[in-house]
Amino acid sequence: MPLADTKRIVRRRSTMVEPKRELKMQTDRQKILAALAEKPLTTFNIMKRVNIKSQDECQTLLLKMRDEGAVKFDIHKGVWNI
């Protein structure tokens, strides 16, 4: 019986942690969209404006947003835009 209770607690904890992470990503998405609304930016400039420390995290988020159709990347100029 204690093993089943442990599994329930683990599931509850994992569901509690996930919305907080999703909330943080949502605010980063909103900040990125607000920054790109002004003008097209490079990845480094987006990182400075949105205050994202890791370049990998920023690029991953931008690629997810690109897959969703929220942002576009101009390969000739090297900038992200809406």
Question: Which CATH number goes with the domain that contains 23?
Answer: 1.10.10.10
Number of structural domains in the chain: 1
Write out the residue range of the structural domain in which residue 54 sits.
2-81
Widest Cα–Cα separation across the chain? 61
Provide the pLDDT for residue 77.
Answer: 93
Q: Specify the amino acid at residue 35.
A: A
How high is the pLDDT of residue 7?
55
Q: Which uninterrupted H or E stretch holds 81?
A: strand 79-81
pTM of the model: 0.66
CA dist 25 and 4 (Å) reads: 32
* Positions of the chain with pLDDT under 50: 17
User: pLDDT tens-digit profile of 46-66?
Assistant: 999 999 899 999 999 999 999
Percentage of the chain surpassing pLDDT 70? Answer: 68
